[in-house]
Amino acid sequence: MQKYARVTASLITDLLRRRSRQSSRLLSSTHILDHPSSSSSSSLMSSSSTHPLSVATINDKVLKCEYAVRGEIVTLAQILYCNIGNPQSLGQQPITFFREVLALCDHPAILDRSETQGLFSTDAIARAWQILDQIPGRATGAYSHSQGIKGLRDTIAAGIEERDGYPADPNDIFLTDGASPAVHMMMQLLIRSEGDGILCPIPQYPLYSASIALHGGTLVPYYLDEATGWGLETSELKKQLEAAKSKGINVRALVVINPGNPTGQVLAEDNQRQIVEFCKQEGLVLLADEVYQENIYVPDKKFHSFKKISRSMGYGNEDIALVSFQSVSKGYYGECGKRGGYMEVTGFSPEIREQIYKVASVNLCSNISGQILASLVMNPPKVGDESFESYSAEKDGILSSLARRAKALEDALNSLEGVKCNKAEGAMYLFPRIYLPAKAIKAAEAVNTSPDTFYCRRLLNATGIVVVPGSGFGQVPGTWHFRCTILPQEDKIPAIVSRLTEFHKQFMEEFRD
């Protein structure tokens, strides 16, 4: 079924990187025509190997950038993808109401046709009309305002208000093609040179390291505390901030991912208050990755946006600069392919806002289907709407199944010798620690790879299960982990558990000291 299979584990990236380093070495001992500006010998260029570019002459920020969760494509039979947060690729079905509205907005000509009444729910039809009326000329094929269609931003702001209990301003919303472009936009704004630092959690989602590298800044790491369920200690933030300052780094912002990726923890309210206080005291922009806000699997934790927390502390726009990233790719909807999302930007001066607006303008606008979907996830069907019951059943079905899958995988991992896995409170991942025998570590060294990559590669070869080695996210030196999504459909989980268990036993047997 998955003929066209993709493996994006960093073990593959790793292989490629080594290969590419080898080829650079080869290249550097070869005669390469230098860039022509220095040559009047342009007639030489008619020889048959005149690539105007070489890896030595492209932007080295591009070379430095790494992206662990995606890599080269490999085609392998019987693969079980546990590497990417891409739910629908593993069989999760889209929410019907959302897709009905998107289809109707894509082809409004059918809205007046009688057959449409039989095919679509009445509230989807009503919602499509409502959205079309918010678009000037009902033109879903037109560029929108650079921040996104105003009516949709109104809807999103209302959804944020309902979620947080504090006001939200549609003018603070920038609709984007998923959360990634929004993160790039902020990094572009904040980073002037290597002297500018961004505090990032370790482990982190590699979008952050990649974006910081592309924009030429410095990643200032802070470690999450695995022993306390990936806790975020402000003492650690303070320590790393001071260390960076002492090296002359101008730290500009703090990235917090909540719920955590790859770590799956949900921050406690009190901890969030400390983080807000820290940013306020240190004058740091708080970049809050809140794309997993709907993915909470434990009854004792609840999602609180950093905006809600800061407002509840009495801090307003004058006190803290805060960006909240949201995406349609995660949650129970998991609409990765639609590339929808937004950032809510508060606490910036009008001059800076104008600059953010300008950068948004250079890409004209984000895609309208993604914009519509972002408004839908922030304003889903309500009690009394025709779709409410089926919508709720779909949503609850997905979320409760994810919770069961998280628990099953967590239990399975914790039952393995030398594996310790924190609870997946939220998001879509488990990040177990693997205590590898010295003999396995030596075997990895012998093939010139990191021990976690060695483990993951063996796992892939033996079982077809793809996970991402911890090295791609960062980890405390000398510790080893991997990231495993909880996304395979529930009927696949027992096979994953038994294959993984069997593999792990044999691995530990093979390398027992």
The footprint of a copy of itself on residues 273-292 (CB under 8 A) is 280-285
Beta strand extents in 19-123 (DSSP E only): 80-81
Please, which of residues 227-256 interact with a copy of itself by CB under 8 A?
241, 244-245, 249-252
Q: How far apart are CA 303 and CA 258, in angstroms?
A: 8
Q: How far apart are CA 66 and CA 190, in angstroms?
A: 20
| Token duo for residue 213 | 């590298």
Three-state secondary structure call for residue 53: coil
Q: What is the dihedral of CA 373, 377, 380, 386, to 10 degrees?
A: 40
Q: Total binding residues for a copy of itself by CB under 8 A? A: 135
Q: Is 351 in the site for a copy of itself (CB under 8 A)?
A: yes
Q: How far apart are CA 73 and CA 82, in angstroms?
A: 15
Q: How far is CA 469 from the centre of its chain?
A: 16
Residue closer to a copy of itself by CB (options 359, 497) is: 359
Residue 448 CB, shortest distance to a copy of itself, in Å, is 20
Of 140-148, 391-399, 435-443, 475-483, the segment contacting a copy of itself by CB under 8 A is 140-148
Q: Is 133 in the site for a copy of itself (CB under 8 A)?
A: no
> Hey, CA dihedral for 492, 485, 336, 462, is it positive or negative?
negative
Residue 466 CB, shortest distance to a copy of itself, in Å, is 14
Residue 11: CB partners within 8 Å, gap ≥ 6? 449, 453, 456, 457, 460, 468, 469
Residue closer to a copy of itself by CB (options 436, 487) is: 487
Residue 329: CB partners within 8 Å, gap ≥ 6? 85, 178, 179, 291, 335, 336, 338, 339, 340, 341
Please, which of residues 454-513 interact with a copy of itself by CB under 8 A?
none
Considering only residues 83, 121, 140, 463, which one is a binding residue for a copy of itself as defined by CB under 8 A?
Answer: 140
Three-state secondary structure call for residue 166: coil
Residue closer to a copy of itself by CB (options 360, 441) is: 360
Which amino acid is it at 114? S
Contact between 186 and 207 under an 8 Å Cβ cutoff? The reply is no
Considering only residues 354, 396, 445, 509, which one is a binding residue for a copy of itself as defined by CB under 8 A?
Answer: 354
Residue closer to a copy of itself by CB (options 381, 451) is: 381
Residue 451 CB, shortest distance to a copy of itself, in Å, is 25
Considering only residues 156, 175, 207, 237, which one is a binding residue for a copy of itself as defined by CB under 8 A?
Answer: 207
Residue 101 CB, shortest distance to a copy of itself, in Å, is 9
| Residue 409 host element (H or E) | helix 388-414
Which of 250, 334, 259 lies closest to 285 in space, CA to CA? 250
Q: Is 395 in the site for a copy of itself (CB under 8 A)?
A: no
Q: Is 70 in the site for a copy of itself (CB under 8 A)?
A: yes
Q: 């990895």: which residue's tokens?
A: 444
Please, which of residues 80-119 interact with a copy of itself by CB under 8 A?
84, 86-92, 94, 96, 99-100, 102-104, 106-107, 109-110, 113, 115-116, 118-119
Residue 284 CB, shortest distance to a copy of itself, in Å, is 6
Which amino acid is it at 104? L
Of 210-218, 294-302, 380-388, 448-456, the segment contacting a copy of itself by CB under 8 A is 210-218
Residue closer to a copy of itself by CB (options 177, 226) is: 177
Considering only residues 76, 126, 139, 438, which one is a binding residue for a copy of itself as defined by CB under 8 A?
Answer: 139
Contact between 421 and 430 under an 8 Å Cβ cutoff? The reply is yes
